[in-house]
Chain A
Amino acid sequence: MRILIVGGGTGGTVLANNLARRLAVEIRSHKVRLTMLTASDKHLYQPGLLYVAFGQMTPDQLYRDQAGLLESSVEFHVDPVVKFQLDQKQVVTKSGKTYEYDILIIATGSRIVPDEVPGLKEGSENFYTVEGAVRLRKRLMEFEGGTIAMVVSLPHKCPVAPVEAMFMLHDFFKARGIRDKVRLRYHYPVNKVHATANVAVWAKPEFDKAGIEYETLFNLKEVDPEKQIVYSEEGTECKYDLLIAIPPHRGMEEIENNKMGQAGWIPTHRHKLTMDGYDNVYVIGDATNIPVSKTGSAAHFEAEVVAENIESQIKTGSTVREYDGKVYCFIEGGFDRATYNAFDYVNLPVLKPPSKSIHWFKMAYNRMYWTTVRGLL
């Protein structure tokens, strides 16, 4: 039995380690072969980028060697897949090698595509790449006053990030003693300050209290970097001194090139996590088209379900669990308090009152991530 994992982010790594433990005997006796193909020898802790932008973490803290995160029984190659030949049960990599499989797991994630919005790349900063977060950190430290506008493109990973960033901006400039010189303006695509009702109910009065201005039903159309104006599809505009954007996302280019899903999002069964039309191909994390948050948390819970099902398939001939839509997300409410959102397909999210203890747990989790992705926590 050949199990091939394509992608070494949160989902792929949790899955590889989980499977390596569940199938340790089978791997040792060569009945199962577990292989991972990735595009990088480094693993990036993406939620840490927000903290880099605000000077609370440094880029080196966000990286580990991917090989060091994996159980030794996982065959690991830095050789990204360029062709998916699903009907032949094989993939072809950049180096030209062909890998055959019996079970394939696609965990290739997503990427930002700021070029989709005219002027966005030239006119805005973001915290969705290491380079972007470092640049934003410098811009924030140099900012002496004026309007900072936040705009949100769709779809994007980490749905609560724009709200968190606004609270952190408020606390950042309070700490610098120039909050009164900074106008914070938040723009959001739907008619509430957040698409998830309970987050909106909590965040709106908190925005009012912090003096954060907001405009809803603002769908990003284009940016004029020279005039420093951002325009909405709805016909409104905002003059800014610093524009922070949540850039639009797509699935990975290889997925689009192989025509496996529109905009790189792979059609996936929301409970089974199998790719439509292929019972032996699972998809986890951002790469799916299922309507749950694109977060490491969703990828992690999905990986656990897939690992359990692959083990069960091999040992009993049938699967045993379905993904229930479980997601758990911390939400920073500033520099010293946080809350969290936990929900699934059935249970509505219920927001706990923000507290210092949840904030400090999140800060600790930023380090503990390396144990969870190894499958130890």
Chain B
Amino acid sequence: MSEVKVVDARNTFCPGPLMELISNMKMASVGDTIELLSTDEGSGADVPEWVNKVGHEIISNEKIEGVWHIKVRKAK
């Protein structure tokens, strides 16, 4: 079981949380899980849209005390 890598993109605007996630997904191996932390209001919807379009997998997506915690598994 791979460990979950946390990408802390809280309070960042450029290039922003989703771009940080994409860059980290490129470095990951198939089956790896990345947890993105984001304070960008749009992340809750934008990240799943990208993940679904590219064909990865959302493990969980929740907002805890103003921070989105989105776990994504690399599927291909």
Contacts and interface: CB of A to CB of B under 8 A. Distances in A.
B12 interface: yes
A327 B50 contact: no
Interface in B6-42: 7-9, 11-20, 22-23, 26-27, 40, 42
B11 A159 contact: no
Bin the interface of chain A by size. 20 to 34
A343 B14 contact: yes
Contacts of B11: 325, 345-346
B13 A190 contact: no
Contacts of B40: 197
B49 interface: yes
Contacts of B49: 191, 217
Contacts of B42: 197
Interface in A165-199: 189-191, 195-197, 199
A195 B19 contact: yes
Nearest to B55: A233
A348 B41 CA distance: 12
Contacts of A329: 14
B50 A217 contact: yes
A195 B16 contact: yes
B50 A190 contact: yes
B20 A291 contact: yes
Contact of B14 (A191, A196, A233, A262): A196
B54 interface: yes
A155 B7 CA distance: 14
Contacts of A262: 27
A196 B23 contact: no
B46 interface: yes
Interface residues of B, number: 25
B39 to A, nearest CB: 10
Nearest to B9: A291
A154 B26 contact: yes
A190 B18 contact: yes
A103 to B, nearest CB: 26
A203 interface: no
A276 interface: no
Contacts of A155: 15, 19, 23
B18 A195 contact: yes
A40 interface: no
Contacts of B27: 262-263
Nearest to B18: A190
A329 B14 CA distance: 10
A345 B23 contact: no
B46 to A, nearest CB: 6
B22 A219 contact: yes
Given A155-B23, A197-B42, A234 B13 contact: no
Contact of A191 (B9, B20, B50): B50
A293 B16 CA distance: 9
A348 B19 contact: no
B46 A341 contact: no
Interface of A: 154-155, 159-160, 189-191, 195-197, 199, 217, 219, 233-234, 248, 262-263, 270, 291-293, 325, 327, 329, 341, 343, 345-346, 348-349
8 contacts: A154-B15, A159-B14, A195-B16, A196-B16, A234-B54, A262-B27, A293-B15, A349-B13
Across the A-B interface, the 6 shortest Cβ-Cβ residue pairs: A155-B23, A291-B12, A195-B16, A345-B11, A196-B14, A159-B15
